[in-house]
Amino acid sequence: MPQFLIVEPAEATLTALAEALDQVDIGILLLDRDLRIRFLNRRQMEMFGLPTELLQAGMTFREMMDRNISNSRNVIPAEDLPAYHEKREAEVRAGTIAPTHIDLNDGTRLLFACQACPDGGRILTYADVSRELRMEELHAMEQINAELRFNNETMEDHAARLASLAEATDESARKVEEAKKALEREIVERRQLEARLRQMATTDGLTGALNRSGFLALCQNELDQRAEADRGMALMMLDVDHFKLINDRYGHAGGDLALKQLVSALGSRIRRGDLLGRLGGEEFAILLPKIAPPEAERFAERLVTHIAASSVTYGTRVIEMTISIGLTMATGTDRSIERVIARADDALYRAKESGRNRVVKDVPVEAA
Protein backbone atom coordinates (compact mmCIF):
# COMPACT_ATOMS: atom_id res chain seq x y z
CA MET A 1 0.00 0.00 0.00
CA PRO A 2 1.56 3.39 -0.97
CA GLN A 3 2.61 5.60 1.97
CA PHE A 4 1.84 9.34 1.93
CA LEU A 5 3.46 12.02 4.09
CA ILE A 6 0.08 13.65 4.76
CA VAL A 7 -2.66 11.48 6.24
CA GLU A 8 -5.97 12.30 4.57
CA PRO A 9 -9.09 10.45 3.32
CA ALA A 10 -8.39 7.92 0.54
CA GLU A 11 -10.80 9.69 -1.86
CA ALA A 12 -8.93 13.00 -1.47
CA THR A 13 -5.60 11.22 -1.92
CA LEU A 14 -6.76 9.53 -5.15
CA THR A 15 -8.11 12.83 -6.48
CA ALA A 16 -4.81 14.57 -5.77
CA LEU A 17 -2.90 11.72 -7.40
CA ALA A 18 -5.09 11.82 -10.55
CA GLU A 19 -4.65 15.60 -10.79
CA ALA A 20 -0.88 15.21 -10.44
CA LEU A 21 -0.74 12.53 -13.16
CA ASP A 22 -2.67 14.89 -15.46
CA GLN A 23 0.23 17.36 -15.22
CA VAL A 24 3.05 15.01 -16.30
CA ASP A 25 4.27 15.05 -19.92
CA ILE A 26 4.04 11.26 -20.28
CA GLY A 27 0.93 9.41 -21.43
CA ILE A 28 -0.25 6.98 -18.70
CA LEU A 29 -2.85 4.25 -19.22
CA LEU A 30 -3.98 1.94 -16.37
CA LEU A 31 -5.75 -1.32 -17.35
CA ASP A 32 -7.43 -3.94 -15.18
CA ARG A 33 -6.73 -7.69 -15.52
CA ASP A 34 -9.28 -7.89 -18.38
CA LEU A 35 -7.45 -5.01 -20.13
CA ARG A 36 -10.32 -2.59 -19.54
CA ILE A 37 -9.36 1.04 -19.07
CA ARG A 38 -9.35 2.11 -15.42
CA PHE A 39 -7.52 5.40 -15.80
CA LEU A 40 -5.80 7.49 -18.47
CA ASN A 41 -4.27 10.92 -17.95
CA ARG A 42 -4.75 14.05 -20.04
CA ARG A 43 -1.44 13.61 -21.94
CA GLN A 44 -2.48 10.11 -23.09
CA MET A 45 -5.79 11.43 -24.41
CA GLU A 46 -4.04 14.30 -26.25
CA MET A 47 -1.43 12.00 -27.86
CA PHE A 48 -4.04 9.70 -29.38
CA GLY A 49 -6.95 12.13 -29.83
CA LEU A 50 -9.16 10.11 -27.46
CA PRO A 51 -12.61 11.28 -26.28
CA THR A 52 -13.27 11.89 -22.59
CA GLU A 53 -16.07 9.32 -22.38
CA LEU A 54 -13.69 6.33 -22.65
CA LEU A 55 -13.81 5.56 -18.92
CA GLN A 56 -17.58 5.84 -18.67
CA ALA A 57 -17.91 3.43 -21.59
CA GLY A 58 -15.72 0.80 -19.92
CA MET A 59 -13.72 0.47 -23.12
CA THR A 60 -11.01 -2.20 -23.48
CA PHE A 61 -7.46 -1.59 -24.67
CA ARG A 62 -8.24 -3.33 -28.00
CA GLU A 63 -11.44 -1.33 -28.53
CA MET A 64 -9.49 1.86 -27.91
CA MET A 65 -6.93 0.91 -30.57
CA ASP A 66 -9.60 -0.18 -33.10
CA ARG A 67 -11.47 3.06 -32.57
CA ASN A 68 -8.31 4.99 -33.35
CA ILE A 69 -7.59 3.29 -36.72
CA SER A 70 -9.33 5.95 -38.85
CA ASN A 71 -7.21 8.82 -37.51
CA SER A 72 -4.01 6.92 -36.71
CA ARG A 73 -0.70 8.67 -37.28
CA ASN A 74 1.17 5.36 -37.21
CA VAL A 75 3.50 4.68 -40.13
CA ILE A 76 1.91 1.23 -40.53
CA PRO A 77 -0.47 1.11 -43.57
CA ALA A 78 -4.16 1.32 -42.65
CA GLU A 79 -4.88 -2.17 -43.97
CA ASP A 80 -2.21 -3.66 -41.67
CA LEU A 81 -3.35 -1.84 -38.50
CA PRO A 82 -5.87 -4.47 -37.28
CA ALA A 83 -3.20 -7.20 -37.31
CA TYR A 84 -0.73 -4.82 -35.66
CA HIS A 85 -3.24 -3.94 -32.92
CA GLU A 86 -3.99 -7.64 -32.32
CA LYS A 87 -0.27 -8.33 -31.90
CA ARG A 88 0.12 -5.34 -29.56
CA GLU A 89 -2.83 -6.50 -27.42
CA ALA A 90 -1.31 -9.98 -27.15
CA GLU A 91 2.01 -8.52 -26.01
CA VAL A 92 0.33 -6.37 -23.36
CA ARG A 93 -1.75 -9.31 -22.17
CA ALA A 94 1.43 -11.44 -21.93
CA GLY A 95 2.96 -9.13 -19.33
CA THR A 96 5.78 -6.65 -18.93
CA ILE A 97 7.19 -5.11 -22.15
CA ALA A 98 10.59 -3.47 -22.15
CA PRO A 99 10.67 0.12 -23.52
CA THR A 100 10.24 0.05 -27.31
CA HIS A 101 9.94 2.78 -29.94
CA ILE A 102 6.77 3.57 -31.93
CA ASP A 103 7.30 5.84 -34.97
CA LEU A 104 4.48 8.05 -36.28
CA ASN A 105 4.25 9.39 -39.83
CA ASP A 106 4.62 13.04 -38.73
CA GLY A 107 8.14 12.34 -37.44
CA THR A 108 7.07 11.79 -33.82
CA ARG A 109 8.74 8.91 -31.97
CA LEU A 110 7.11 7.50 -28.80
CA LEU A 111 8.84 5.35 -26.17
CA PHE A 112 6.29 2.72 -25.13
CA ALA A 113 6.52 0.48 -22.05
CA CYS A 114 4.20 -1.95 -20.25
CA GLN A 115 4.48 -2.96 -16.57
CA ALA A 116 2.48 -5.84 -15.09
CA CYS A 117 0.72 -5.05 -11.76
CA PRO A 118 0.32 -7.46 -8.83
CA ASP A 119 -3.48 -7.48 -9.29
CA GLY A 120 -3.14 -8.65 -12.91
CA GLY A 121 -3.60 -5.20 -14.42
CA ARG A 122 -1.15 -3.30 -16.60
CA ILE A 123 0.41 0.17 -16.54
CA LEU A 124 1.22 1.50 -20.04
CA THR A 125 3.36 4.60 -20.60
CA TYR A 126 3.96 6.62 -23.78
CA ALA A 127 6.78 9.21 -23.75
CA ASP A 128 7.50 11.57 -26.69
CA VAL A 129 11.25 11.20 -27.43
CA SER A 130 11.19 12.92 -30.85
CA ARG A 131 13.61 15.65 -29.81
CA GLU A 132 16.15 13.09 -28.60
CA LEU A 133 15.74 11.19 -31.90
CA ARG A 134 16.38 14.32 -33.97
CA MET A 135 19.49 15.10 -31.92
CA GLU A 136 20.75 11.53 -32.46
CA GLU A 137 20.13 11.76 -36.23
CA LEU A 138 21.88 15.13 -36.44
CA HIS A 139 24.85 13.80 -34.51
CA ALA A 140 25.03 10.70 -36.72
CA MET A 141 24.89 12.87 -39.87
CA GLU A 142 27.69 15.08 -38.55
CA GLN A 143 29.81 12.00 -37.83
CA ILE A 144 29.23 10.63 -41.35
CA ASN A 145 30.15 13.97 -42.92
CA ALA A 146 33.30 14.18 -40.81
CA GLU A 147 34.33 10.66 -41.85
CA LEU A 148 33.64 11.46 -45.51
CA ARG A 149 35.79 14.58 -45.36
CA PHE A 150 38.61 12.72 -43.63
CA ASN A 151 38.55 9.82 -46.10
CA ASN A 152 38.41 12.10 -49.14
CA GLU A 153 41.41 14.06 -47.88
CA THR A 154 43.48 10.93 -47.35
CA MET A 155 42.53 9.02 -50.53
CA GLU A 156 45.19 10.69 -52.68
CA ASP A 157 47.92 10.03 -50.10
CA HIS A 158 46.96 6.34 -49.97
CA ALA A 159 46.99 6.07 -53.77
CA ALA A 160 50.46 7.63 -53.96
CA ARG A 161 51.85 5.19 -51.42
CA LEU A 162 50.30 2.26 -53.27
CA ALA A 163 51.92 3.40 -56.53
CA SER A 164 55.39 3.39 -54.94
CA LEU A 165 54.89 -0.12 -53.55
CA ALA A 166 54.13 -1.38 -57.10
CA GLU A 167 57.84 -1.13 -57.90
CA ALA A 168 58.73 -3.79 -55.30
CA THR A 169 58.79 -7.59 -55.75
CA ASP A 170 56.08 -9.54 -57.56
CA GLU A 171 54.52 -10.59 -54.27
CA SER A 172 54.49 -7.01 -53.04
CA ALA A 173 53.05 -5.87 -56.36
CA ARG A 174 50.26 -8.44 -56.07
CA LYS A 175 49.39 -7.23 -52.57
CA VAL A 176 49.47 -3.63 -53.72
CA GLU A 177 47.06 -4.44 -56.57
CA GLU A 178 44.66 -6.08 -54.16
CA ALA A 179 44.86 -3.12 -51.79
CA LYS A 180 44.35 -0.72 -54.70
CA LYS A 181 41.19 -2.54 -55.79
CA ALA A 182 39.88 -2.50 -52.23
CA LEU A 183 40.57 1.22 -52.04
CA GLU A 184 38.75 1.80 -55.35
CA ARG A 185 35.76 -0.14 -54.03
CA GLU A 186 35.78 1.99 -50.90
CA ILE A 187 35.90 5.17 -53.01
CA VAL A 188 32.89 3.97 -55.03
CA GLU A 189 31.01 3.10 -51.84
CA ARG A 190 31.81 6.50 -50.33
CA ARG A 191 30.59 8.28 -53.45
CA GLN A 192 27.40 6.22 -53.41
CA LEU A 193 26.89 7.15 -49.76
CA GLU A 194 27.43 10.83 -50.58
CA ALA A 195 24.88 10.55 -53.40
CA ARG A 196 22.33 8.95 -51.04
CA LEU A 197 22.89 11.69 -48.46
CA ARG A 198 22.43 14.37 -51.11
CA GLN A 199 19.21 12.69 -52.25
CA MET A 200 17.93 12.54 -48.66
CA ALA A 201 18.67 16.26 -48.27
CA THR A 202 16.68 17.22 -51.41
CA THR A 203 13.78 14.72 -51.43
CA ASP A 204 10.41 14.91 -49.67
CA GLY A 205 10.18 11.89 -47.37
CA LEU A 206 6.44 11.27 -47.85
CA THR A 207 5.92 11.63 -51.62
CA GLY A 208 9.40 11.18 -53.14
CA ALA A 209 9.13 14.54 -54.95
CA LEU A 210 11.83 17.17 -54.58
CA ASN A 211 11.57 19.05 -51.29
CA ARG A 212 11.39 22.85 -51.22
CA SER A 213 15.14 23.52 -50.97
CA GLY A 214 16.03 20.93 -53.62
CA PHE A 215 13.36 22.21 -56.02
CA LEU A 216 14.38 25.87 -55.64
CA ALA A 217 18.07 25.10 -56.18
CA LEU A 218 17.50 23.08 -59.37
CA CYS A 219 14.97 25.60 -60.71
CA GLN A 220 17.38 28.49 -60.15
CA ASN A 221 20.02 26.59 -62.12
CA GLU A 222 17.54 25.99 -64.97
CA LEU A 223 16.58 29.68 -64.93
CA ASP A 224 20.24 30.74 -65.16
CA GLN A 225 20.85 28.40 -68.11
CA ARG A 226 17.63 29.50 -69.77
CA ALA A 227 18.72 33.16 -69.57
CA GLU A 228 21.91 32.28 -71.45
CA ALA A 229 20.20 30.13 -74.11
CA ASP A 230 17.01 32.24 -74.43
CA ARG A 231 14.70 29.22 -74.13
CA GLY A 232 11.03 29.24 -73.12
CA MET A 233 10.27 28.12 -69.56
CA ALA A 234 6.97 27.66 -67.69
CA LEU A 235 6.28 27.24 -63.97
CA MET A 236 3.07 25.88 -62.47
CA MET A 237 1.97 26.20 -58.85
CA LEU A 238 -0.74 23.71 -57.91
CA ASP A 239 -2.46 22.33 -54.85
CA VAL A 240 -5.24 19.94 -53.94
CA ASP A 241 -8.66 21.57 -53.71
CA HIS A 242 -10.28 21.35 -50.26
CA PHE A 243 -7.51 19.09 -48.95
CA LYS A 244 -8.55 19.74 -45.35
CA LEU A 245 -11.88 18.03 -46.07
CA ILE A 246 -9.99 14.96 -47.31
CA ASN A 247 -7.96 14.88 -44.08
CA ASP A 248 -11.09 15.38 -41.95
CA ARG A 249 -13.04 12.66 -43.78
CA TYR A 250 -10.33 10.00 -44.24
CA GLY A 251 -7.80 10.88 -41.54
CA HIS A 252 -4.14 11.76 -41.98
CA ALA A 253 -3.35 8.30 -43.35
CA GLY A 254 -5.89 8.83 -46.14
CA GLY A 255 -4.59 12.34 -46.80
CA ASP A 256 -1.00 11.10 -47.02
CA LEU A 257 -2.04 8.35 -49.44
CA ALA A 258 -3.83 10.94 -51.60
CA LEU A 259 -0.69 13.10 -51.78
CA LYS A 260 1.50 10.13 -52.72
CA GLN A 261 -0.93 9.06 -55.45
CA LEU A 262 -1.07 12.66 -56.73
CA VAL A 263 2.73 12.79 -57.10
CA SER A 264 2.66 9.42 -58.85
CA ALA A 265 0.01 10.67 -61.30
CA LEU A 266 1.87 13.91 -61.95
CA GLY A 267 5.17 12.09 -62.36
CA SER A 268 3.71 9.84 -65.04
CA ARG A 269 2.62 12.89 -67.06
CA ILE A 270 5.58 15.26 -66.90
CA ARG A 271 8.39 15.11 -69.45
CA ARG A 272 11.96 13.97 -69.00
CA GLY A 273 13.84 16.97 -67.62
CA ASP A 274 10.78 18.57 -65.96
CA LEU A 275 11.04 19.21 -62.19
CA LEU A 276 8.32 18.30 -59.65
CA GLY A 277 8.57 19.57 -56.08
CA ARG A 278 6.50 19.62 -52.90
CA LEU A 279 6.75 23.13 -51.43
CA GLY A 280 4.71 22.38 -48.32
CA GLY A 281 1.51 20.63 -47.21
CA GLU A 282 -0.65 19.98 -50.30
CA GLU A 283 1.14 22.63 -52.40
CA PHE A 284 3.31 21.49 -55.32
CA ALA A 285 5.18 23.11 -58.21
CA ILE A 286 6.28 21.91 -61.66
CA LEU A 287 8.99 23.55 -63.78
CA LEU A 288 8.76 22.98 -67.56
CA PRO A 289 11.98 23.98 -69.38
CA LYS A 290 12.07 24.42 -73.18
CA ILE A 291 8.35 24.97 -73.71
CA ALA A 292 6.24 27.62 -75.46
CA PRO A 293 3.24 29.33 -73.76
CA PRO A 294 0.47 27.58 -75.77
CA GLU A 295 2.00 24.16 -75.14
CA ALA A 296 2.39 24.95 -71.43
CA GLU A 297 -1.29 25.95 -71.17
CA ARG A 298 -2.44 22.75 -72.89
CA PHE A 299 -0.17 20.72 -70.63
CA ALA A 300 -1.65 22.31 -67.47
CA GLU A 301 -5.25 21.77 -68.68
CA ARG A 302 -4.50 18.09 -69.34
CA LEU A 303 -3.14 17.71 -65.80
CA VAL A 304 -6.29 19.20 -64.27
CA THR A 305 -8.48 16.90 -66.36
CA HIS A 306 -6.37 13.82 -65.57
CA ILE A 307 -6.42 14.34 -61.78
CA ALA A 308 -10.18 15.03 -61.75
CA ALA A 309 -10.78 11.76 -63.65
CA SER A 310 -8.53 9.77 -61.30
CA SER A 311 -9.36 8.42 -57.86
CA VAL A 312 -7.52 6.94 -54.87
CA THR A 313 -8.59 3.65 -53.30
CA TYR A 314 -8.29 3.82 -49.50
CA GLY A 315 -9.39 0.54 -47.99
CA THR A 316 -12.99 0.09 -49.05
CA ARG A 317 -13.43 3.80 -49.79
CA VAL A 318 -12.59 5.95 -52.79
CA ILE A 319 -10.99 9.38 -52.44
CA GLU A 320 -11.71 11.80 -55.26
CA MET A 321 -9.82 15.06 -55.64
CA THR A 322 -9.22 17.95 -58.00
CA ILE A 323 -6.37 20.43 -58.34
CA SER A 324 -6.05 24.12 -59.15
CA ILE A 325 -3.09 25.42 -61.16
CA GLY A 326 -1.49 28.86 -61.49
CA LEU A 327 0.69 29.12 -64.62
CA THR A 328 3.33 31.66 -65.58
CA MET A 329 6.18 31.92 -68.12
CA ALA A 330 9.69 33.06 -67.19
CA THR A 331 10.46 36.39 -68.82
CA GLY A 332 13.71 37.79 -70.12
CA THR A 333 14.07 39.97 -67.03
CA ASP A 334 13.64 37.16 -64.47
CA ARG A 335 16.83 36.45 -62.51
CA SER A 336 15.31 34.93 -59.36
CA ILE A 337 13.17 31.79 -59.34
CA GLU A 338 11.30 33.16 -56.30
CA ARG A 339 10.00 35.97 -58.52
CA VAL A 340 8.63 33.46 -61.04
CA ILE A 341 7.07 31.38 -58.26
CA ALA A 342 5.39 34.47 -56.79
CA ARG A 343 3.62 35.16 -60.11
CA ALA A 344 2.49 31.55 -60.43
CA ASP A 345 1.31 31.59 -56.81
CA ASP A 346 -0.77 34.70 -57.48
CA ALA A 347 -2.35 32.96 -60.48
CA LEU A 348 -3.06 29.90 -58.28
CA TYR A 349 -4.84 32.14 -55.78
CA ARG A 350 -7.05 33.48 -58.57
CA ALA A 351 -7.76 29.90 -59.74
CA LYS A 352 -9.08 29.09 -56.27
CA GLU A 353 -11.07 32.31 -56.04
CA SER A 354 -12.74 31.63 -59.40
CA GLY A 355 -14.02 28.17 -58.45
CA ARG A 356 -11.05 25.73 -58.29
CA ASN A 357 -10.44 22.69 -60.54
CA ARG A 358 -9.04 24.94 -63.26
CA VAL A 359 -5.96 26.62 -64.70
CA VAL A 360 -5.40 30.37 -64.42
CA LYS A 361 -2.41 31.86 -66.19
CA ASP A 362 -0.39 34.85 -65.19
CA VAL A 363 -1.44 37.88 -67.29
CA PRO A 364 0.20 38.62 -69.60
CA VAL A 365 1.96 35.35 -70.46
CA GLU A 366 5.15 36.56 -72.15
CA ALA A 367 6.89 34.43 -74.73
CA ALA A 368 10.55 34.02 -73.75
- Segments of the chain assigned E as strands: 26-31, 37-40, 97-103, 109-116, 122-128, 233-240, 275-280, 283-289, 311-314, 317-320, 323-329, 359-361
Spatial CB neighbours of 129, under 8 Å, sequence gap ≥ 6? 101, 109, 110, 111
Average pLDDT over residues 288-311: 95
Q: What's the pLDDT score for residue 306?
A: 96
Pairwise CA distance, residues 37 & 34, whole Å: 9
Which of these, 279, 272, 267, 204, lies nearest to 238 by C-alpha position?
279
Q: Is residue 55 part of a domain?
A: yes
- pLDDT score, position 1: 53
Q: Is the pLDDT of residue 368 over 60?
A: no
pLDDT at site 162: 65
pLDDT confidence of 166, banded at 50, 70, 90? Answer: low
Q: Does residue 172 fall inside a structural domain?
A: yes
pLDDT tens figures, 103-158: 777 778 888 899 999 999 999 998 988 887 667 666 766 777 667 677 767 776 66
Same domain (yes/no): 182, 158: yes
Q: What total number of domains does the chain contain?
A: 3
Domain-embedded: residue 15: yes
For residue 11, indicate whether it is catalytic.
no
Residue where one domain finishes, among candidates 71, 106, 128: 128
Cα 316 to the chain's mean position, in Å? 24
Structural domain containing residue 317 = 212-361
Does the pTM surpass 0.75? The reply is no
Q: Residue 214 pLDDT > 90, yes or no?
A: yes
Indicate whether 5 belongs to any domain.
Answer: no
At 250 the three-state DSSP class reads helix
Domain of residue 354, CATH code: 3.30.70.270
Q: Could you tell me if residue 2 is inside a domain?
A: no
Q: Are residues 331 and 221 in the same domain?
A: yes
19, 132, 142, 282: the catalytic one is: 282
Q: Are residues 296 and 266 in the same domain?
A: yes
55 with 103, same domain: the answer is yes
- pLDDT of 14: 73
What is the band of 3 on the pLDDT scale with cuts at 50, 70, 90? low
Which of 84, 103, 128 delimits the end of a domain?
128
